[in-house]
Amino acid sequence: MTPATPAHGGRVNVPAIGAQVPRRGNAFSTWLATTLMRLTGWRFEGAFPDVPHCVLIVAPHTSNWDFPTGVMAMYALGIRGTFLGKHTLFRFPLGVLMRFLGGVPVDRAAAGDVVGETVRHVQTHPATLIVLSPEGTRSRTTRWKSGFYRIAERAQIPIFPVGFDFPRKTIVFHPLFTVTGEMERDITALRRLYRAEMARDPGKYDEGRGQE
């Protein structure tokens, strides 16, 4: 088994990435992204789990800046994430970049069994990090979408909660969360990990406890 990549240390505090985690990039892209994080003041906090499959949820999601911040972090870590996005974002020429970054287009008006398709993707790939925003929108919403939970439950993989703390410019890695089947209770527990003051636009984040 290939040994885990050593942590870069320094102000960015890039954690070690284990051999089971899907990877992407090279030494130059890792250096460039780490340098950008250092120049912009961003850093990591916590450990990245060495698992081949998980649903990585990111919150709070209130700004267009969340996406480039996530891409910067992904390349600094050297990981490959697969994310779902509005089909309108995948039109040429932006769609070329979105697909290159790991995006999969979803037509929300005629999505079909998106959860089922995502589960099949997980089951047919040796390693997959499904990256989702549980809020499903940058606008203020009182309830989280349940798709991320149903994917984790049906694929029998853990949820990896990640927080974007803009005031501290810190990407926070929380411990893996194993679903129990009690969706309302589990999502309430996950939502307690996030606070409005972490968001780039706190007024758009609701700390309610519900799901839909």
Residues 6+ apart with CB under 8 A from 161: 57, 59, 174, 177, 190, 193
d(CA 103, CA 50): 22
Per-residue pLDDT tens for 21-67? 999 999 999 999 999 999 999 999 999 999 999 999 999 999 999 98
DSSP assignment letter at 127: S
Q: What is the pLDDT of residue 9?
A: 46
Residues 6+ apart with CB under 8 A from 145: 134, 135, 136, 211, 212
**CATH code for the part of the protein at 27-205:** 3.40.50
Domain ranges for the chain: 27-205
Q: Kindly report the CA angle at 82 between 165 and 103, in degrees rounded to 5?
A: 100
Backbone angles phi, psi at 162, to 5 degrees: -125, 135
Give the residue among 146, 153, 150 at the shortest CA–CA distance from 188. 146
Per-residue pLDDT tens for 92-115? 787 787 777 777 777 666 555 788
Tell whether the model's pLDDT for residue 84 goes beyond 90. no
- Using DSSP, state whether 59 is helix, strand or coil: strand
Per-residue pLDDT tens for 114-163? 888 889 889 999 999 999 999 877 788 878 989 999 999 999 999 999 99
**At residue 175, what is the residue type?**
P
Give the residue among 22, 140, 142, 3 at the shortest CA–CA distance from 78. 22
Structure tokens given for 17: 């990435």
pTM of the model: 0.85
